[in-house]
Structure 1
């Protein structure tokens, strides 16, 4: 998973309209899988933590549990200067926190609740009323909660519907990967959220597959380096200073 710095203007914009505007719960979802939900969720959590908020990142994506996978990697190959996820969990268990499943990542400054493999827990969170009960319990300890959900297109008995999570939150953000996500999936996703009367705060466009015109021109210029290396180098330097070229194509 790519790490998105919390100081980016885009992250600041999302934060100021959600957790920075006194939202206590926000869901990050998408129309299709692998569009950058987890990346945005983690960046938003770090931005909230920078404002001295006590934040909980909850993973409710059983289809692609990125957070759980990363914690498992920490267990298998812990850094020598810090505790592994399992050691953190054991330490919390000694303090009476064994049943919560929440792991305090002290080195990161926030807490996480990885997705559960327990069928009963998944079934519980599929019910809006029961999920609300869990949220109220978490909010007694945390200032705000960010949910990393499954995509709106993933509907099966083993998943927790993103619509349900979005419905019980103060607001929801949809991530869309430009140039990749089919328009019909975006429309269907929005329709699902509207049907559940979800407060759609906005949409974040992931342009990793949609390079700027500048990037494309620089890429093409490298093809002439074998014949005109100095000229192409000067050309790239000039192109980098043209603001109008920094637009997505």
Structure 2
């Protein structure tokens, strides 16, 4: 799912990051599938629009989203290039300045060491104003991945994505403890309301359940609720 970089929610997150003056940003979640990659790409686009040289680094080995542009088939609309920092988002079909997940086993093992990862981030920051890292979820801790808590501990700021109505409170607390144990600077939590019905939809559903109302009246009430601008902004 692509999140437009012009969305008000993205703007609010961008402004908060501006206040923190964060140059390296880790985005993670408790479990996989909570929307980390979508948020990371939207924030990368927003920083690019602001004039920042921004690098999106894909370190989510369990669910990679970026492909090196040189690996894109020649029959696509993407122009050929030798640039080391151009990648193609297979989820959103956009070209971004980024780095795809490492495929070399030795490099993965190297980046699992905090001091090595920190040096790599510092190297990227010599060429870019901002580095945004798409990390795996905290719960995905295995030998084939780079732990999210390691990445968070090496970045100046960390954002956590929470899938409303799906992420368990106990899981979230456990993830927070792991991140804090690695000295992660958690500056905010972003709630993904993909499965969380809006207030407007809840009201419409309740109106439909009022069986004693004539069909004509219930249809009219639902239409009024659907047109209400205020209810469209309330979750």
- The TM-score range, normalised by the shorter chain, is 0.7 to 0.9
Aligned to 2:151: 165
Aligned to 1:31: 30
Q: TM-score, normalised by structure 2?
A: 0.86
Structure 1 distance, partners of 2:9, 2:193, is 12
Q: Is the 8 A contact 1:49 1:109 kept in 2?
A: no
Structure 2 distance, partners of 1:48, 1:9, is 14
Secondary structure, aligned partner of 2:57: strand
For the pair 1:7 / 2:6, whether they are aligned, the reply is yes
User: 2:76 aligned to 72, 75, 78, which one?
Assistant: 78
For the pair 1:129 / 2:127, whether they are aligned, the reply is no
Name the count of aligned residue pairs.
Answer: 228
Deviations 1:64-87 (A, max 9, x none): 11234x9699537612xx32xxx3
Secondary structure, aligned partner of 1:197: coil
Is the alpha carbon distance of 1:171 and 1:232 closer, same or farther for their aligned partners in structure 2, counting shifts above 3 Å? same
Deviations 1:110-163 (A, max 9, x none): 401010211011111101111111111111111110000000001000000000
Is the alpha carbon distance of 1:111 and 1:242 closer, same or farther for their aligned partners in structure 2, counting shifts above 3 Å? closer
Is the alpha carbon distance of 1:104 and 1:157 closer, same or farther for their aligned partners in structure 2, counting shifts above 3 Å? closer
Aligned to 1:48: 47
User: 2:86 aligned to 97, 103, 115, which one?
Assistant: 103
Structure 2 distance, partners of 1:46, 1:168, is 23
Is the alpha carbon distance of 1:124 and 1:204 closer, same or farther for their aligned partners in structure 2, counting shifts above 3 Å? same
State which drifts further: 4-13 or 202-211: 4-13
| Unmatched tracts of structure 2, length 5 or more | none
Q: TM-score, normalised by structure 1?
A: 0.81
Deviations 1:196-229 (A, max 9, x none): 11110010000101111311343566799xx977
State which drifts further: 3-12 or 199-208: 3-12
Please state how far the C-alpha of 1:36 moved relative to its aligned partner. 0.3
Aligned to 1:188: 174
Structure 1 distance, partners of 2:18, 2:97, is 16
| Unmatched tracts of structure 1, length 5 or more | none
Secondary structure, aligned partner of 1:18: helix
For the pair 1:65 / 2:73, whether they are aligned, the reply is no
